[in-house]
Amino acid sequence: MRAKAMLAGVVVVVLAAICVPAAPTESGDQNDACFSKSLHYTGEGMRYWYEKEDGLKSITNISYDKLGCNHCHVKSCDQCHARKDQQACSYSVQKAREIDTCTVCHARAKAAFEAGKDSNSVDVHIAKGKVCADCHKGQDVHGDGTLRHSMRDEGAVRANCTNCHKPKENDIRPHTVHRGKLDCLACHISNSISCLNCHIDNFAKTGKKEGNFLKPVQDWLLLVNYKGKVTAGTVQTAVYNNKKFIAYAPYFTHAVQAKAKDCADCHGNAAMKLLQKNEPVPMATFKDGQMVNWKGIVPLVPDKLQWTFLTKDASDKWIPIESNEPAKVQFVNYGEPFTKEQIKKMGMPFRK
């Protein structure tokens, strides 16, 4: 029973990496209120993808309502607005605007901020002193009374680059040559923060996160298709009883840079040269006891992206899983892989 509870807890970690933190819907009159239909409240953004036929539940066999999600999800105004001073409580808009309030749950964003400091790629907005609430206004947080399955559903999140930045379409060639099929993030995000090899079953046995998860990766930028445009994405790999799982999704890593990528960073790059030869891209390779990650921009071609999955041996050391059983692959938040035509175009050497 204890192991089962721990397993439920670690599944939440995996879900939070690719979905919106939120809470299970409760019965009562509150269900008719706007906030009770928001993704922060319902947990639908997590449940929907987790319980789909190709979702993580197919590996763990644990139903969503058995997951221990409540500690990190918003059931009331208190979690974001309440301040406690000795025995008294007060409510504060300022507390809700503090980044630390958001990153209690949005841990991957926090990891991206911290990693940016180490790699000299701090998000340009954070560097300027902006906070989450400067872009994510009330409706992004509280909802608008519409029950949605995902933060990628129409109208769920209104934060958008063009709310503040009006692109000069006629002045910048990359804004015209892609004919509206390239999202801002594809060029202005420095990297994709990704989590690899979440060792779910071993966590359940030990109850410890340390040693059962690899350090978040920010060595590549994964490009995916989303609603007719190429945008930035992410990947999550997980292991449960030597069963392998991969989730790909469009994802806004908070590592925005003012200077965009150069055209040659994508077109005809090292990954594209391998794909053009019908060879796999070694995204994560285990060498000399360490995971070696690919560096650079990579388009999402699922059957050509090569991931190494690890388990623990008797001495608690990471070793590759020797099973040839393929990983189960899920496309989360309506992300889609690249087409053959897109790969052909990206493989062409860039001409200035």
Q: DSSP string spanning 47-65?
A: HHHHSSTTSTHHHH---GG
Which is more confidently placed, 295 or 107? 295
Q: How far apart are CA 288 and CA 271, in angstroms?
A: 23
Task: Look at residue 211 in the predicted model and tell me its pLDDT.
Answer: 78
Q: How far apart are CA 3 and CA 211, in angstroms?
A: 17
How many residues does this entry show for the chain?
A: 352
Q: What is the dihedral of CA 216, 222, 227, 229, to 10 degrees?
A: 140
- Please name the amino acid found at residue 310: L
Task: Look at residue 20 in the predicted model and tell me its pLDDT.
Answer: 46
Which is more confidently placed, 249 or 43? 249
Distances in Å between the Cα of 301 and the Cα atoms of 183, 187, 304, 336 are 18, 19, 6, 9
Where are the chain's structural domains? Answer: 2-347
Distances in Å between the Cα of 208 and the Cα atoms of 10, 47, 61 are 10, 24, 21
| Mean pLDDT rounded to a whole number for the chain | 86
Q: State mean pLDDT over 108-126.
A: 86
Q: State mean pLDDT over 94-103.
A: 92
Burial class (CB in 10 A: 0-12, 13-18, 19+), 331: buried
Task: Look at residue 47 in the predicted model and tell me its pLDDT.
Answer: 87
Q: State mean pLDDT over 225-247.
A: 95
Confidence of residue 266 (pLDDT cuts 50, 70, 90): very high
Residue 293 pLDDT greater than 90, yes or no: yes
Task: Look at residue 26 in the predicted model and tell me its pLDDT.
Answer: 42
Q: How far apart are CA 27 and CA 169, in angstroms?
A: 49
Distances in Å between the Cα of 283 and the Cα atoms of 202, 298, 299, 302 are 24, 9, 11, 11
Task: Look at residue 12 in the predicted model and tell me its pLDDT.
Answer: 53
What residues have CB less than 8 Å from 284, skipping those under 6 apart?
196, 197, 217, 237, 291, 292, 293, 294, 306, 307, 308
Burial class (CB in 10 A: 0-12, 13-18, 19+), 318: middle
Q: State mean pLDDT over 25-47.
A: 72
Task: Look at residue 175 in the predicted model and tell me its pLDDT.
Answer: 81
Task: Look at residue 314 in the predicted model and tell me its pLDDT.
Answer: 87
**Strand pairing partners for 145?**
none
Say what percent of the chain tops pLDDT 70. 86
Q: What is the dihedral of CA 224, 282, 108, 247, to 10 degrees?
A: 60
Ranges 3-12, 20-29, 140-149, 191-200: which has the least confidence: 20-29
Q: In what order do the strands lie in the sheet with 290-293?
A: 290-293, 281-287, 305-307
Residue 332 corresponds to which tokens in the numbers above? 């989360």
Task: Look at residue 287 in the predicted model and tell me its pLDDT.
Answer: 93
What tens digit of pLDDT does each residue of 315-339 get? 988 999 988 899 999 999 999 999 9
Q: What is the dihedral of CA 335, 341, 346, 348, to 10 degrees?
A: 180
